[in-house]
Amino acid sequence: MSTSTADLEQIVAAAVSAAPVWRTSGQATRAGWLRALADALDAHADELVPLADRETRLGETRLRGEVGRTSGQLRLFATVVEEGAYLELTIDDADPAAAPPRPELRRLLIGVGPVAVFSASNFPFAFSVCGGDTASALAAGNPVVVKAHSGHPELSRRTAEIAAAALEAAGAPAGSIALVEGREAGNALVQHPAVQAAGFTGSLSGGRALFDLATGRPDPIPFYGELGSVNPVVLTRGAVAARGAALAQGLAGSFTLGAGQFCTKPGVVFVPRGAGFEEALAAATTGIAGGPLLTDRITAAFPEGVGRLAADPGVEVIAHGAETADGARPLVVATDAAAVIARADVLLEEVFGPVTLLVRYDTDDDLHAALGAVPGSLTATLHAEDGDDVTATLELLQARAGRVLFAGWPTGVAVTWSQQHGGPWPATTSLHTSVGATAIRRFLRPVAYQDAPERLLPDVLRDAALARLPHRRNGILTVPLAS
């Protein structure tokens, strides 16, 4: 099914009409709309979860948890809206004695206008119709038009129906959220002159194509894409000696979680040569079964990606997981640092599915040279002991990722105020996050009012509102005490 040009125009026109209402909505009102949407998702979970399972085969337990994550992040953004620091309210009082004389300036962030959101295949709730991009765009004060993912079309339609009805019942304007389907409609959406920003989670090729459309418009718009990530992990010799078996168990569970279809899957792991970690990981992986992949396209791409790795002369197979009748079989392969340096374009290309590449290193110089070839990623993980000198290693890792872990494994992204889910290209097209409270910043723009009469100022820039909101006045930060 594909949305027609005429229908797309009607959908975007409705979003344009809704935009001023969202932009000028009060904090309590907008937070109420977000909570109403969260409540509706929770109330319809018994309907939506089986529908999602039929289309994605991710299982009821995983999907119910994902509904909770999705409604939870909507409630988080309701709190962000109420707290108000995201507005970055800033005031400079007039000073005629300054040289040159200074006018009164009052600055804040406002919603950009209608936002296009492109759903992901691997999170049919949390990165889909009502996922993080939608939640943060609505919280910023913008209506949203979602491009449904072809991997779960029925779920997308029903979720969009529930969302639109819930928002309107709560008092939000018609056009607050809508759905389009089909590649042509998605391309047209990101090029539509009324759309002011876009969020995307998906493949490097698909995201790059949309990025080029967004930036190639006569009026270019920001395109916030999460595209691809190998998420490097470094194990020091001391860490392997101290807890190699536990690290192997943790890695085996992480790279096979969800059949390896997490954007934070540890795809390349640097291990000290001859430390015994390969044998421990092989033992930990052997009994793990794979699972069905999300779409026919992903299913076809997995053996092609594995084949490219296995065909490299410097790569050897270390272990297979258990065979299953329906699903991708987990795989561990290994190479060395010299091969990665020589052929990074082949060996460090993301393979979506349950496979991880071990990279053997002998010295820190070997390790650091190979890390220099790793592309930007969402995460980087360092497992070391207290006595290890890892300063140079950490510098390389934090230059390549938005989130650096020192314990555990990167699969699993907490939805919090401080979360960063984004990294240097090609992990994302920007340095912003798509998860956590500051994801709202993507869909805001600054406006300063100079010598404005108070009656024409936005409510939140008036002195009465400033008494209860975080703001900076004449350089001094004020954070009102919570009532």
How many Å apart are CA 176 and CA 160, to the nearest integer? 11
Task: Answer for the pair 82, 178: CB distance below 8 angstroms, yes or no.
Answer: no
How many Å apart are CA 177 and CA 142, to the nearest integer? 9
pLDDT tens digits for the chain (483 residues)? 899 999 999 999 999 999 999 999 999 999 999 999 999 999 999 999 999 999 999 999 999 999 999 999 999 999 999 999 999 999 999 999 999 999 999 999 999 999 999 999 999 999 999 999 999 999 999 999 999 999 999 999 999 999 999 999 999 999 999 999 999 999 999 999 999 999 999 999 999 999 999 999 999 999 999 999 999 999 999 999 999 999 999 999 999 999 999 999 999 999 999 999 999 999 999 999 988 888 888 988 999 999 999 999 999 999 999 988 778 999 999 999 999 999 999 999 999 999 999 999 999 999 999 999 999 999 999 999 999 999 999 999 999 999 999 999 999 899 999 999 999 999 999 989 999 999 999 999 999 999 999 999 999 999 999 999 999 999 999 999 765
CATH class of 232-405: alpha beta
Classify each residue of 16-37 as buried b or exposed e, where b means 16 or more C-beta atoms within 10 Å of its C-beta.
bebbebbbebebeebbbbbbbb
Residue labelled with tokens 């070839």: 373
56 SS3 class: helix
Name 107's bridge partners: 90, 448
Q: Tell how many helices (H) and how many strands (E) occur in the chain.
A: 16, 17
What residue spans in the chain does CATH classification 3.40.605.10 cover? 5-227+431-478
What residue spans in the chain does CATH classification 3.40.309.10 cover? 232-405
Residue among 263, 279, 395, 454 flagged as catalytic: 263
How many Å apart are CA 116 and CA 178, to the nearest integer? 10
DSSP H helical ranges for 348-475: 364-371, 391-398, 463-466
**Nearest one of 460, 470, 410 to 435, comparing CA atoms:** 410
Task: Answer for the pair 375, 400: CB distance below 8 angstroms, yes or no.
Answer: yes
Name 361's bridge partners: 272
DSSP letter at 433? -
How many Å apart are CA 397 and CA 341, to the nearest integer? 16
101 SS3 class: coil
Task: Answer for the pair 293, 328: CB distance below 8 angstroms, yes or no.
Answer: yes
How many Å apart are CA 384 and CA 221, to the nearest integer? 42
**Nearest one of 204, 234, 200, 182 to 8, comparing CA atoms:** 182
How many Å apart are CA 73 and CA 131, to the nearest integer? 8
* Other Cβ atoms within 10 Å of 429 Cβ, number: 22
Both tokens assigned to 291: 């699972």
Active site residue 263: yes
Tell me the CA distances in angstroms from 7 to 185, 188, 273, one per residue in order: 10, 12, 59
Measured in whole angstroms, the distance separating CA 395 from the mean position of its chain's CA atoms is 23
pLDDT value at position 483? 55
pLDDT value at position 447? 98
Task: Answer for the pair 114, 144: CB distance below 8 angstroms, yes or no.
Answer: yes
pLDDT value at position 327? 80
How many Å apart are CA 393 and CA 406, to the nearest integer? 12
Active site residue 47: no
Rounded to the nearest 5°, which phi and psi values hold at 206? Answer: -65, -40
How many Å apart are CA 278 and CA 285, to the nearest integer? 10
Residue among 55, 66, 181, 226 flagged as catalytic: 226
pLDDT value at position 431? 87
Beta strands in 98-222 (DSSP E): 105-111, 115-118, 144-147, 177-180, 197-201
How many Å apart are CA 255 and CA 385, to the nearest integer? 23
Task: Answer for the pair 241, 223: CB distance below 8 angstroms, yes or no.
Answer: no
How many Å apart are CA 156 and CA 148, to the nearest integer? 6
> How is domain 5-227+431-478 classified at the architecture level of CATH?
3-Layer(aba) Sandwich (3.40)
Question: In what helix (H) or strand (E) does residue 383 lie, and over which residues does it extend?
Answer: strand 377-383
Task: Answer for the pair 149, 128: CB distance below 8 angstroms, yes or no.
Answer: yes
Taking every pair of Cα atoms in the chain, the longest distance, rounded to a whole number of angstroms, is 80
How many Å apart are CA 427 and CA 227, to the nearest integer? 5
**Nearest one of 229, 231, 233, 230 to 381, comparing CA atoms:** 233
